[in-house]
Structure 1
């Protein structure tokens, strides 16, 4: 979902799993205190850099999800194309959708300056920047597991096939998440990241002009102006009524059949589906959403990280070290 405005597309459409920490024999588990002695200035530098980029918070959150969901949280999404591979940036779910690469560059430069060297991986920068963005936008704080290494390669095919699309039905969403060891609750609470940001017209047009779509009629009529039947693909609409604040408004929208994306409204059909009760619960209990969202973010950050000699610490997040 591309965007040209503040708090754009942020969908943290999200999907997060039970922490699958180190997988290789020489790997070490992630640790929230990894940089306490190695570089105490690292996390403060990231926090300061994120604070001056509040309009990018939603995009940085979504960037973290799209990184983690493809072969783990390894910074592979940041790599530019080379003569030897085509990067994940050009995969269908990311092209004209994912933003924030220049912000990550600036944060990485600030961290390297604060640490007086290249000791913090780009994957860790993305993870911490997402957490600090959540806080900046009114969300909960949580400890980020740290010590990841950066990937030396990419998988555009995995990005094309694994990242959930806004057209997915509930069964496909559930099976998609389950393939990563994620539960139905993970699906519902992490989809709550859509309380932030905007989506492009091309992602929700079918809901405005499809007579079978379960979209509130007044909202559909309101959106047909900026999202005509033809043209206006890049025009934006907020994913919930408060797109610049992480709150429980997303679930209230689903309860009123005002989910902007098909995949969002699939979480609540008004019956006894496997996700309906969870939507009702989070809609009525915003503090429970905040708590569970924080826990889910930690779980997502533990998805198949590279550690030890399994990866590298890139000096430039856009290219591998040589």
Structure 2
């Protein structure tokens, strides 16, 4: 395909995405130009800071994407994952799945820059959505338009994380149910799981698959036995601190290699292996593995737009926090 044709195709794809977003989000009070008058330089402020951060530490892209995911799946995309709790009322941050989240300081820094330019205007929830998109873009991932206008929640409850956030040990039925609760379908399960193409995991996130899968000191039969040998060399039975790349060799680059690994039964988590237990998710895995991710970028962009709308607060709901870790 000639360069001119590629450019036209790319621009057409972007236009389709924009029209898709406009069609799907107007009813919810979100729009692409929400801050066009109140904070017109918002996009540039976020983009510039995230470019600076990721150019220094590209491994931070994965945690920033993960933080947006963890936020949207618990109470919706309301920045509740950013709130500090108290001894008597622990917040989402205190839940075991969130103890390994990183990048809160980056969100705080971006918020401070935005507050300097547009005091009291932009929500932490919108900042988190923009940061996730720009972080992925910095490591060669797809662009997606981020409709804005989310408001920040005032509630963050630790125990809700266990009830709403998909876990690495979930089977396909549970994953589909958790995603459906946020307006996401079976295809979205496979597509968003592809986010595991970047980032790392502590050994504790999957060591049961290596040493004690059913409580009898056995291994997970759905995991490639040759890969088990390699993982055991990195992770000893009681190791909870060593980090392992989820997509070995390219864990800092957003690509389709994740699906190749899952197709070879080398997905790190049970939830990765579970994609092979459903006809639709299995077909998607093999399509991307065999076609070098032919539609993954486009699909991921569309699924992220959908996820970013999950149970959002708009209008007079919630608030615009001055500090992302504290309610006003």
Match of 2:72 in 1: 68
The Cα offsets for residues 182-211 of structure 1, whole Å up to 9 and x where unpaired, read as 211010000000001001100111222333
Paired residue total: 295
- In the alignment, which of 156, 161, 184 is matched to residue 154 of structure 1? 156
Q: Which has the larger radius of gyration?
A: 2
- In the alignment, which of 262, 265, 287 is matched to residue 294 of structure 2? 287
**Larger helix proportion, structure 1 or 2?**
2
Shift of 1:274: 3.6
What is the CA RMSD across the aligned residues, in angstroms?
1.9
Shift of 1:22: 8.3
Match of 2:284 in 1: 278
Q: 1:292 to 1:173 in 2, by over 3 A?
A: same
CA contact under 8 A between 2:79 and 2:124: conserved in structure 1? Answer: yes
SS in 2 for 1:187: helix
SS in 2 for 1:85: coil
Matches within 5 A, 1:141-220: 141-209=143-211, 210-220=218-228
- In the alignment, which of 250, 255, 269 is matched to residue 247 of structure 1? 255
TM-score, normalisation: structure 2: 0.85
Q: 1:288 to 1:274 in 2, by over 3 A?
A: closer
SS in 1 for 2:295: helix
Match of 2:231 in 1: 223
Match of 2:125 in 1: 123
SS in 2 for 1:53: helix
SS in 2 for 1:308: coil
The Cα offsets for residues 197-231 of structure 1, whole Å up to 9 and x where unpaired, read as 0011001112223334322222211121221012x
- In the alignment, which of 106, 120, 125 is matched to residue 109 of structure 2? 106
SS in 1 for 2:33: coil
Cα distance in 2, alignment partners of residues 50 and 76 from structure 1 = 21
- In the alignment, which of 93, 96, 116 is matched to residue 97 of structure 2? 93
- In the alignment, which of 220, 240, 244 is matched to residue 237 of structure 1? 244
SS in 2 for 1:199: strand
| Consecutive aligned runs of 4 or more in structure 1 exceeding 3 Å deviation | 18-23
Shift of 1:118: 2.2
Cα distance in 2, alignment partners of residues 138 and 130 from structure 1 = 13
Which protein has greater RCO, CA pairs closer than 8 Å, 6+ apart? 1
SS in 2 for 1:223: helix
SS in 2 for 1:177: helix
Match of 2:32 in 1: 32
CA contact under 8 A between 1:108 and 1:125: conserved in structure 2? Answer: yes
Cα distance in 2, alignment partners of residues 316 and 225 from structure 1 = 43
Shift of 1:284: 2.7
The Cα offsets for residues 63-87 of structure 1, whole Å up to 9 and x where unpaired, read as 0011111111001110101366321
Shift of 1:21: 5.6
